[in-house]
Amino acid sequence: MEENQLFPVFFKLHRLHVLVVGGGNVGLEKVNAMLQNSPEATVTVVSLSFLPELKTLAKQYANVELVEKAFSCGDLFGKDLVIAATNNKELNQSVWEKAKCSKVLINVADTPELCDFYLGSIVQKGNLKIAISTNGKSPTVAKRLKQVLQEAIPDTLDEVLNKLHLIRDKLKGDFAAKVKKLNSITDVLVDPETKEL
Ligand SMILES: C[C@@]1(CC(=O)O)C2=NC(=C\c3[nH]c(c(CCC(=O)O)c3CC(=O)O)Cc3[nH]c(c(CC(=O)O)c3CCC(=O)O)/C=C3\N/C(=C\2)[C@@H](CCC(=O)O)[C@]3(C)CC(=O)O)/[C@H]1CCC(=O)O
Ligand SMILES: NC(=O)c1ccc[n+]([C@@H]2O[C@H](COP(=O)([O-])OP(=O)(O)OC[C@H]3O[C@@H](n4cnc5c(N)ncnc54)[C@H](O)[C@@H]3O)[C@@H](O)[C@H]2O)c1
């Protein structure tokens, strides 16, 4: 079976500054995805034109800035991540080249081969977050799997996380003893036959 070699990480996006080039459907989708997860992310969108939904978002979020102009190299200055989402493949390629020169990580929405990272389909239950990737094979399947997991994971899991957090803080002893105790308490999550939490 082919392996997915992507390495998932969870960005603290509120500490980063993201540049999105292109304010059309895909630009909007990506900005929405970022804000749903990280409402305090600083996002600058550079585009010749903007969908009305993006204008509404920029009014709602002080941290979202729209700059109406053609992309230029200087737009990369001070940015940590870039998403190139214009409808012009050559321009997207040129944004990629400039991002590479500046050592800024980039996602080129119409060219997976030029992406340093992919956006995932994201399941959210309180503190729990699961990011899904199909290795770029089928974002639609990622979206469907997200819907399945969102339903299947009980809302009460967040209570479990909060309780475990309290226990984790209270546990004394060395690291190995702590891990052993936490594993024993959470056995029930993998073996429903063991006693209830
Ligand atoms: C998960 C999600 C996250 C997000 O965007 O936030 C995401 N795409 C979503 C939806 C979606 N995207 C597309 C459709 C139409 C149906 C279809 O084509 O399947 C739908 C379905 C829909 O909208 O219903 C079209 C599409 N997508 C890419 C290309 C280019 C290409 O493949 O060449 C084209 C063709 C463009 C064209 O043909 O013109 C590329 C990528 N899309 C990825 C992520 C990355 C791989 C993730 C993975 O590893 O699975 C990757 C590689 C790069 C990236 O975008 O980061 C989000 C689900 C949101 C949710 O959870 O609800
Ligand atoms: N990765 C994904 O999830 C995904 C999904 C669907 C489509 N796509 C691909 O993404 C690309 C964009 O699709 P779309 O539907 O958003 O297109 P769109 O036409 O809705 O938007 C393109 C935007 O790019 C802007 N633009 C064009 N030239 C520019 C320039 N020189 N400087 C700054 N902005 C410029 C336009 O003003 C417009 O706002 C397409 O190539 C499409 O195939 C990717």
Domain layout of the chain by residue ranges: 13-119, 120-153, 163-190
The rounded Cα 130 to chain-centroid distance in angstroms is 10
Q: Give the mutation target among 25, 34, 57 for probing the ligand 2 site: most ligand atoms within 8 A of CB.
A: 25
Domain 13-119, CATH: 3.40.50.720
pTM of the model: 0.95
Quick one: pLDDT at residue 196?
A: 52
Cβ pair 133, 157 in contact under 8 A: no
Quick one: pLDDT at residue 70?
A: 98
Ranges under pLDDT 70 in the chain: 194-197
Best CATH choice for the domain 120-153 from the list 1.10.405, 3.30.160, 1.25.40, 3.40.50: 3.30.160
Backbone φ and ψ for 123, nearest 5 degrees, come out as: -95, 130
Ligand nearest to the CA of 121: 1
Closest ligand 2 atom number to CA of residue 110: 9
Centroid of ligand 1 to alpha carbon of 154 (angstroms): 27
Torsion 162-165-121-75 (CA) sign: positive
Residue-wise pLDDT tens digits, 90-135:
999 999 999 999 999 999 999 999 999 999 999 999 999 999 999 9
Beta carbons within 10 angstroms of residue 71's beta carbon: 22
Nearest to 56 by CA among 20, 87, 23: 23
Quick one: pLDDT at residue 195?
A: 53
